[in-house]
Every structure is written in structure tokens, then in C-alpha cells.
Structure 1
Amino acid sequence: MTFTLTSDSFKEGAPLGMEHILSAEYGFGCGGGNKSPHLRWSGAPEGTKSFAVHCFDPDAPTGSGFWHWVVVNIPAGTTELALDAGNPKAGLLPKGALQTRTDFGAPGYGGPCPPPGHGPHRYVFTVFAVKEATLPVAADTSAAIVGFQLHFNTLAKATLTGTFERTA
């Protein structure tokens, strides 16, 4: 069975809806709902002890992309994350799951908000089947260190890419 990632919120290659775009309170000029999309996965390989999920924008004008969401230690029996699970105040993540620091400087989902006129950006949501129940990271661990841990502990991964563009 193939490890796959789908969403009730968007389809592969399609634009993300405004409910997933960064909210005005962040001060980057967007006015979305800042809700993480629903994600569902299936076909995890044998030996999976946990999952991790992240959202990365490889098109951000930073020289190193931009991490919008990082979640680790999602229990192995989990097969989906609800709409707005990335909101630390919502309490929608499975027990034991840990959100770590994004490029916004804090744990939790931060939606897309590329610079106006920069063209369409890709937002790559990835689910990782992890061979360890917990990774040795904390809420303030950077996405790069989480990525390092995932590099050595991933059995399989699946991606789903949404897009967003600001014209003004």
C-alpha cells in the first residue's frame, strides 16, 4: 500500500482558501483565517511508531524557504488532523503531539502570506511515518533541527501541495 496524504480543505496543486491564509494580527498584510487545513493520511508502513507533519514554502524570498508549521510525536494510531489543529489554543491535536517553532518564531500554524507581486508560492504539506514514538525535540526546537531528526528516523513520507499568490 502506498503512503498517501489528502485533505478535505484543498486538492493537490490548488490554491489554498482564505481560511488558511495568515491573519491580519501577524502584521504581514494578509487578512485570512489562519486555520491549518484538514489533513488525512493512509498506507503508513509497518514499524511506524509516530507521525510528523510540516508545511514548508520553498518559494519564500529568504534564501532558505519558510517553515509555516511543524508537528511531531503524533501517535501512530492517528490518521488525520482536523481543520485548525495547528491552533495552539484549539486543543485539536492528538494527545502527545508537539508543535515546534516555525519561522514565525513560535509553535503553531502560520498561514501563507507571500510578498505582493512575488508570484505564486507553493505550500508543501508533508506527513512523515516515523520509526520512533517520540523525537528528541522541544517546543522551541527549530524546524531545521526537527528536519535533521526526521532525516534519520523517517520510514516514508507523503506530500500535498497547495498554492497562494498575492497580487496586491
Structure 2
Amino acid sequence: MKLMSEAFIDGGALPQHFTCDGEDMSPPLHWSNAPKAVKSFVLFVDDLDAPDGVFHHWACYDIPAYHTALVEGAGRPEGFEDFRHGVNDFDELGYVGPCPPEDDGLHRYRFRLLALDCAELAIRTHPSCEEVETEASKHVLAQAQITGLYRRRLDEGSSPG
């Protein structure tokens, strides 16, 4: 299985548009070569370099098997009723983009897609990203990932504090 985006290449910079410094929209993603037995997909977006360990930005689950893409902005819970969203580490439902501490260096954001052998996860309404990951891990047929990079810088003329 392969995961791709028109907005950035694997290992390349995430455009500011998809971060807290821009419009905070989820980037467009598409995938191919899913296993024939797939019944649904789940997508995770995590900051692998957060100061306190992995930070969960989005979990999107119960994505029907006929999907091969998520459009830009699909991370907004309203308007996309054919799949569900978990509660991220910002304590919000849906996608919140990269927003590392200013001058904390380059952070890696992993977009990870799992193909599952079940149509729906047996999970409560509005689960945390970690709960989605725990349940999804029981049903994985295949996975794919891409990583985007983002760094925030202090505005010129401002001082840290």
C-alpha cells in the first residue's frame, strides 16, 4: 500500500497552509494498492519530535473501503459524515495542524494509514487518538506512511519568553 499527497513529498516540508501558522487545514492525501480484503481505513497524524513524546494531531477512522483519498480540509468534523474523528492531544475533535514550540527545531509529522479487516471499530463516541490506535491495531492488514517536516521560528523583533 502507498500513501501520497499532492501538497508535500515524503520527507519534505509541510506547507504553512496546513499548520497552525496558516489555515490549519488537513492536507489532501491519496492511497493505492490496498489489500483486497480491506473493509475500512484509519489515518493518524503524529508529531514524532514533541518535547513530551509523540503528540497526536489527528485520528480519522471508519473510512469506508471504497475511499482512496481524503480531500484538503477533511480533518474538519463537519461536512464529512462518512467517517469519524478522534479527539487529538489538543483536546479537539478532528485535525489540528503542526504547531511545534517556536525555535524548537525541525519536527517530523507522520501521516500513517492503516487498512483494516473490519468496517467499523468497536469504540466509544469521540475516542482519543490513542484509543483509536489501540483498537485499530487489532485489525491491521497493511499500512503506509509519509512524513512531512515543519519548523516554527520566532518572529523577527520578538524575544523568547
Q: TM-score, normalised by structure 2?
A: 0.91
Cα RMSD of the aligned pairs, angstroms, is: 1.1
| Structure of higher CA gyration radius | 2
Report percent identity of matched pairs. Answer: 37
The residue identity in structure 1 corresponding to 2:60 is V
Indicate conservation of the 8 Å contact 1:101/1:139, yes or no.
no
1:110 alignment partner AA: V
Structure 2: 5+ residue runs without aligned partners? Answer: 155-161
Query: What letter is aligned with 1:17?
Result: P
Q: Match for residue 97 of structure 1?
A: 83
Distance in 2 of aligned mates of 1:96 and 1:48: 16
Q: Kindly provide the amino acid, as one letter, of the partner of residue 55 in structure 2.
A: F
Match of 2:77 among 83, 88, 98: 88
Question: How many residues are matched?
Answer: 154
1:119 maps to which residue?
105
Change (3 A) 1:36 1:139: farther
Q: CA deviation at 1:83?
A: 0.5
Cα distance in 2 for partners of 1:9, 1:39 equals 8
Cα displacement string for residues 114-140 of structure 1 (whole angstroms, at most 9, x for unaligned residues): 011211000100111010000012342
**Contact (CA 8 Å) 1:54, 1:125: kept in 2 or not?**
yes
Structure 1 unaligned regions, length at least 5:
23-30
**1:58-103, Cα deviation, whole Å (9 max, x unpaired):** 10011x31111110000000000000110123x1x3x430011110
Structure 2 residue aligned with 1:36: 26
Residues 103 and 152 (structure 1), Cα distance of their counterparts in 2 relative to 1, 3 Å cut: same
